[in-house]
Structure 1
Amino acid sequence: MPHLVGTTAVITGGSEGLGYAIADAFATEGADLVLIARDQDGLDRARRTLSCHGTTVRTLCLDLADHGAATTAAQQVLELTDRVDTLVNNAGTAHFSPLAQTSADTFDTMLHLNVRVPFLLAQALLPALTTGRGSIVNISSYWADSTGTDRPSAAYSATRGAINAMTRALAGELGPSGVRVNAIAPGAVRAPAYEREHIVPMSAEQSEEHERHTGDAYPLGRVGAPREVAAAAAFLASPQAGWTTGTAQALSGGSYRARDAWHRAPS
């Protein structure tokens, strides 16, 4: 029997890639959905395909990078549904550059979308989450533990470290009210963003070499698939994870060395 029947999940960045895979996993388990993304066409496609699971799919077209959008999103969510059982903070952004070349605006953009928006959404939706004794799932990254020796990532790593710290702190704060808070820290996942950054710019020969180097960095011999991260998110939201809170679950194919493969591959 599906484990999320009768629940409603709010998923940011749910129109494509990892967010869409998470939405699909939740819908497969019977959850109704509210998807938030900035691409109306993508949201329409997601609604059509995800509705095939027999669940209700509602969408909100908002760019959460805009200041004030998180508050607006929360207000509109509560106008669409009278219950929120799970909040999945998936929307985020990444920029990699050396410290000397990272502007304050770039840092602020990542801090806003990767940390401030999840905080504001959790805050605004907390009464509904408390009523349903629900859960929050934050999508982080293994870059939170970067030493900075393989790729300059101080600003991005700081935001991912912050979301992990916030996850643990909120788990302690909200636990007595029955709300669980967990994070997932994926390694490289073959989603559209990964394809655009690492595969599309390469020739076929370079792509093959890149895949070989990347595979060598993982004990399991490959990058992750969106459905594998999505399955973990659905589990953390389910009653099966009823005693799980405050975790930052690493999904990295067994190795944090995988970051190195992104940079040993030919460019």
Structure 2
Amino acid sequence: MKQTSDSMNVLVTGGSQGIGLGIAEVFAAAGAQVAIAGRNPAKLEKARARLAELGATVATIVADVADRRSCTRMAAEAEELLGGLDVLCANAGIYPEQTLEQITPAELNDVFATNVHGMIFSVQACLDALTRSGRGRIVVTSSITGPTTGFPGLSHYGASKAAQLGFVRSAALELAARKITVNAVLPGSIRTEGLDGLGTDTIARMESCIPQRRLGATTDIGHAALYFASEGASFVTGQTLTVDGGQTLPEVPDAVVSA
């Protein structure tokens, strides 16, 4: 069943690769008009070309969500290019690994500048357009890491992802009167470009921890975002949806049943 319409206008930050590109693909396939934003023009063009091969036409916007002025320009461009804005998928994020004792102030600032400040700046920049829509939707890409689980070397990332959920709940209260909903998707282990160099053995170990015995696809997150953007979710706000193939369910590794 089609969950969206041809008139839905969607902006996806961090849309040039990984989960963001999967989100853009799902919305475009459902008939939405989509703009993807990212810092790297070459990656944006590559993403645009890939989506074109799938039959989708998307607009591209060069922007850095860590820069508030860049976000203001991004929102204005998206509204102009699409003819309005109904949905913001605040997806842009970074996840550099570093042990706790080695994290520098600069590294900590970088993670929070993109993952937390960038999310808030993006929302602030899009608020007026989403209000004009009359049915605004904000979908944040968080993670199971931080809100639900932990991972060595990602303490700063996990903290930023937990912070996003605190924002989602309070923002949902503030924006309800504007008819804007705010929700978050919590991905588990998703097959993105960042995993390509890990090798088959590492991928197999990751899959062995997941009851469904596979890594998620980026489009799995896209479908969750599409649900939050749909009319079917108009009475859902301040909520989270974990999309992890059951990864967070087992009490112990032996609870993952072999086929």
Query: What interval of TM-score do these two structures reach, taking the shorter chain for normalisation?
Result: 0.7 to 0.9
CA contact (8 A) 1:32 1:55 kept: no
2:5 maps to 4
Gaps of 5+ in 1: 262-267
- Identify if the C-alpha distance between structure 1 residues 255 and 59 changes in structure 2 by more than 3 Å, giving closer, same or farther: same
Q: Distance in 1 between matches of 2:129 and 2:110?
A: 28
The equivalent residue for 2:256 is none
Q: After the TM superposition, which of the residue ranges 229-238 and 61-70 deviates more from structure 2? A: 61-70
Q: Distance in 2 between matches of 1:20 and 1:252?
A: 18
Deviations 1:131-173 (A, max 9, x none): 212100100111123565x513321111001111111111111
What TM-score, normalized to structure 2? 0.87
| Deviation readout 1:57-92 (Å, 9 max, x if unpaired) | 221122334564223322333443441100001110
Structure 1 pair 144–242 and aligned structure 2 pair: CA distance change class (3 A)? same
Task: Tell me the residue number matched to 2:257.
Answer: none
Residues 5 and 54 of structure 1, relative CA distance in 2, 3 Å threshold: farther
In structure 2, the residue matched to 1:135 is 137
Counterpart mapping for 1:162-241 below 5 A = 162-196=163-197, 199=198, 202=199, 207-208=200-201, 210-241=202-233
Note if contact 1:25-1:230 (Cα within 8 Å) is conserved in structure 2: yes
Aligned match of 1:107? 108
Structure-1 residue corresponding to 2:38: 37
| CA distance, structure 1, for counterparts of residue 167 and residue 66 of structure 2 | 19
Name the CA shift for 1:67/1:15 in 2 (closer, same or farther; >3 Å): same
Aligned length: 250
| Coordinate RMSD, CA, aligned | 2.4
Worse-matched range after superposition: 103-112 or 45-54: 45-54
Unaligned runs of 5+ in 2: 254-259
CA displacement at 1:39 relative to structure 2: 2.5
What corresponds to 1:120 in structure 2?
121
**For residue 264 of structure 1, what is the aligned residue in structure 2?**
none
Shift of 1:50: 3.2
**Displacement after TM superposition at 1:17 (Å):** 1.9
Equivalent residue letter for 1:37: G
Among all aligned residue pairs of Structure 1 and Structure 2, give the percentage whose two residues are the same amino acid: 31
Give the AA of the match of 1:45. Answer: K
